[in-house]
Every structure is written in structure tokens, then in C-alpha cells.
Amino acid sequence: MTKNLALEERLLQQYDKSYEGNGILGERIAHRLSELSKIGLTADNGSNRPGFSLAEKQAKELIKTWMLKAGLSVSEDGAGNVFGRLTGKEDHLPAIMSGSHVDSVPNGGHFDGPLGVLAALEVVEAWKTNSYQPRKPFEVAIFTDEEGSRFNNGLNGSEALIGKANVEEKIELQDEEGRSFAEVLQDVGLSVQGYAEAGRQLDEIELFVEVHIEQGKRLEKEELPCGIVTGIAGPCWLEFTFDGEAGHAGNTPMNDRKDALVAASEFVMKVNQLPRQINDSAVATIGKLQVEPNGVNVIPGKVTLYVDIRDIYKETRDELVDRVLSLSSEIADTYHIQVKHEEKVRVHPVPIGEDIQQLLEQALLEHGISAYKLPSGAGHDAMILGEKIPVAMIFTQSKDGISHNPAEWSSLSDCVQTVQVLKTFVESLQHDRK
């Protein structure tokens, strides 16, 4: 038994077939997840399909064959985004789109991204079995380079789709091997010009819905297969530099020090307390810190650290940013040192519309699933599309909250229940929404 077969067999091992029906087949989902796992398989049984790599392209080509067999017309834009389109009874109407990505982080898991693509495709397979044609056209999407592991700059495919990509910045990018953005695109038959022209008329899309693994533990703790995403947090990254005064650790009295690390330490502790004063969905993280001169017997003279601030609501996210900035100034004054900051990233959060959440809630309840709601702290392609069009997200339970790791796992029973919810939700969208 090979490692690749082990994924399919593991998925089927404790699968409850009672969740099947309506044309949805767990065995097909398990087989396809397993076939994709063979592409870019690592020694640790993980996934290695960087964006704009031949492995990512190979995964797309495999899914294209499944799309064609399911009766979809297949196209690819200049960014490498793939679309499988099912004609609607009223094909002139804007399409419902669903999908995700198939690229991965180095040595990642087999569910992050592929599950969303295969879930959308399984809805089409179910409709084919039942001879059902939706009123509105339906598109299964595979977005290029969501993870950004190649250039530390992800969501490239979805940015190209909505015309947001800054091509001038991207052509300056280089990967770890020193290869340019243009060279990497050429490897997979793409070009910078094609990438720049990949934008689409967004009035052709009514709504984008993405199925994704949770990458957290909330659904597992609630013992639920899937849940409703209330919004996608927009990150703001701030770089702070605390400037004190380096000195001899033995000859400088405690009352005559300007210790940058002591000040930074108080800042770290208090930043951790701020989000809960805002709301339940706000978070702040300090995960990177540099100390100078970084000597055992030297008072730290300079500390540089980075604060990652996120919330699904722009107003409260920005309020938290303001509080963090005020806190840095207060602490600098207390310790008689200097502090400066530089904003590195500020992305708009994407709240999910209440009407969309209500339709998702109805879909879950129809399948006997409690309608649990939770925010997404991570970025997704839906976050980018959500800047321009309505979006929805459904999270599938992640075992132990593990992701970006070969141990990443979602049970087949949970995956199939998620697809059932997706199918019901998309069918509910065939009626005109107020």
C-alpha cells in the first residue's frame, strides 16, 4: 500500500455513507483528493505545489479532465486561473462561482485549497447525476498562487481576476533562486502581459462562495462538520522600532538605563490584552522581534518588532490599530526612549452579508447541522473577490486545527456534509435575491 493510496483509504476508513445522497459521492471526493496528493508529494507525505510551478499546473490539468467529463466548458485566463462553466437555463444571468486553489506551502497538507475546488466540482457531478440544470450559470474556479510561497506574495490569481494586481511591483519580485516573476510565469506558459490582462467583467459574477478547511479548532470543539464564516479578517501589519541606549550590563545602574527591550516587553504584554477590549473577533499578534546589539552582557539599545492586527470589521480593526499606536507612545514616554512605526500592510476586512449568512444557515439546518458562525482570521481568495462582489464562505472542521502541515486532516464525513450544504446553498441562489 503506497502513501498515496493511504490517503484515500484513510478517508474511507471511518466514512459514514449515510451522509451521501443527492448525487454526492464520498468515494469520488476521496479518490480525487488522493490523486491530487500524488502531485508534489513530499517525503513526509505532505504537499509541495508552489504557485506558478509545474506541479501546480499539473494539478490544474488533472482537474480540467474531471471538469470536461462532468460536462463543463473549460477556460484559462492569463494568470493561469482555470474556470469550468456549466451553462444555466438563463445563461445570460451572472454566474454563481465556487472554488479555491491547488497550490500549497512547502510540505503542506492535502486539504487546504483542493477541498474547495473539489467541493464545487462535486456539486456539478451531483447535478449531472440528477439531470439538474441550474437557472443561473455555475463556474468552478481554480485560482493561481493563493499561498504565495514562491514570492512571499500570495493571492496572485484572484487579484488578477478583479484587476487589482500591481504588475509593476510584481515584475520586481524574485524567488529564492533569484528568478524573476516573468521567468517563473514563462515556465508554465504564462506571460506578464497575459497576467496583466486577466481582469474580468465582474458583473458576470453574482456571488463567489468558497469552501475551505477552518485551520482552527472551533468547529472541532463544537463537534460540528462545518460552519458559516461571518467575515474575513483584514490584516494590518505594523513595524515598531524602540530606540533606547545600549550600555554595559554591569556598570550601568538600574535607575540610569534606557532599556529598549524592557519597554518592548511591556508593549508585547499589553498589546496582547487590547483585542478583548474591542470585540470577540479582533486579534493582535507579535511574532517577530529583533534585539540589538543582542549581547549577553549588553543592555538592549534597539528593538524592532512586528504587530499583526486583524478583525473582520474595518472600524474595530482600525480602532485597535489606533490603540496599539497610542500604547507604543505611552510606553516610550514612560521609559524615556524613542519609538517609531511603519505601516507595512493594511487590507480591507470582508464581512459576509447578513442575507447570505441567513441562506447558509437555512442550508445547514436543512441537513440537520447546527448553524455555528465564526470569523476567518486567515486570508483567502474570497477576501480578494469580496472587495468587488458578494462572497460567502463555508468552513469544514479541521482535526486539531492543524494546517500548512502534512498532518492536516478533515474527515470524509465532514467533507461530504460540507458539500451537501454547498449544493443546497447554491440551489437556493437560483431564485432572485432581494
Which amino acids are annotated as binding site for Zn(2+), given as ranges?
101, 112, 147, 212, 404
Alpha-carbon span 127 to 14, nearest angstrom: 26
What SS3 state is found at 308?
strand
Nine cell digits for residue 345: 500592510
> Is the separation of the CB atoms in 403 and 213 below 8 Å?
yes
Name the CA radius of gyration of the chain, rounded.
24
Binding residues: 101, 112, 147, 212, 404
Q: Which of 317, 397, 372, 373 is nearest to 350 (CA)?
A: 317
Nine cell digits for residue 321: 490599530
What's at 273, amino acid-wise?
Q
H/E segment holding residue 211 = strand 205-213
Question: What is the secondary structure of 2-27 as a DSSP string?
Answer: -HHHHHHHHHHHT--GGG-BTTB-HH
CA angle 162/375/33 to nearest 5° reads: 70
> Is the separation of the CB atoms in 180 and 134 below 8 Å?
no
> Is the separation of the CB atoms in 404 and 112 below 8 Å?
yes
Alpha-carbon span 209 to 116, nearest angstrom: 9
Alpha-carbon span 123 to 139, nearest angstrom: 11
